[in-house]
Structure 1
Amino acid sequence: MREYEAANSSRVLDRVLAHISPEASYWFSDGSYYGHEEIRVALQNTFDTIQNEVYSIHDLAWVTVKSDIAVCRYHFSWIGLINGQPRSGTGRGTNVLVRHKSGWLIEHEQLTSDG
């Protein structure tokens, strides 16, 4: 998850997608996205909207960890510029990771904004 956090802050889509299963589902406050192509568009829209974003994960807790599946929950925060104005936000996240031949990949992410 720390590598995923760093990838998000890098704002390099291919680096972020390397942590996500091609069949993943992402549920955000603004909609649900399925598969790399839909998730890529949603992430690009976020990167285009929030300039100079720094994304952070806090209070990471592993709900379950087995040999082939893991579930975690956390709080997240972000800071950046929207239309040149400083903005920030916080929320909660849950991720389901599955071990693939290439390593652990996110199969599902749900983010809920605090406001």
Structure 2
Amino acid sequence: MPFIAEDANYWFSDGSYRGIEEIRSAIEKTFSTILDEVYEVRDLEWPVLTTGVAVCRYRFAWTGVVDGEPRSGQGRGTNVIVRRDSVWMMLHEHLSS
């Protein structure tokens, strides 16, 4: 959470979340739902990379246990990262399956 900007906006398959508290709640829900998760990033590309802004896009895959059953999924992701006061912060994440 310390590297997520206060004004961040996250778009997940189940909804959109604005601000640190909404994002924290969504992430905590995911972590409590998917047990023993293994998350893999593939085909990482950096189409924008400057001293103040970085944008990456990638494919992801995950496996884990949901409600006692093995589950898995995959999709695409995009992240916008900005440099604020010499610290890189996540400003936007978009994950879709």
**The two structures share one fold, judged by TM-score above 0.5:** yes
* Larger relative contact order (Cα-Cα within 8 Å, sequence gap ≥ 6): 2
Smaller-chain TM-score bracket: over 0.9
**Distance in 1 separating the partners of 2:3 and 2:75:** 21
2:42 paired with 1:52: no
Give the CA deviation at 1:102: 4.7
CA distance in 1, matches of 2:52, 2:90: 12
Overall identity of the aligned pairs, in %: 55
Q: Which has the higher strand share?
A: 2
* Unmatched runs of 5 consecutive residues or more in structure 1: 1-16
Q: Please, which of 101, 105, 108 is the counterpart of residue 85 of structure 2?
A: 101
RMSD of the alignment, in Å? 1.0
For structure 2, list consecutive stretches of 5 or more residues without a partner in the other structure.
Answer: none
What residue in structure 2 maps to residue 11 of structure 1?
none
Secondary structure of 1:54 counterpart: strand
Moved over 2 A (4+): none
TM-score by length of 1: 0.80
Could you tell me the TM-score, scaled by structure 2's length?
0.95
Say if 1:35 and 1:102 are closer, same or farther in 2 by CA, change over 3 A.
Answer: farther
Greater share of residues in helix: 1
Q: CA deviation at 1:72?
A: 0.7
**Amino acid corresponding to residue 112 of structure 1 in structure 2:** S
Paired residues, what number? 97
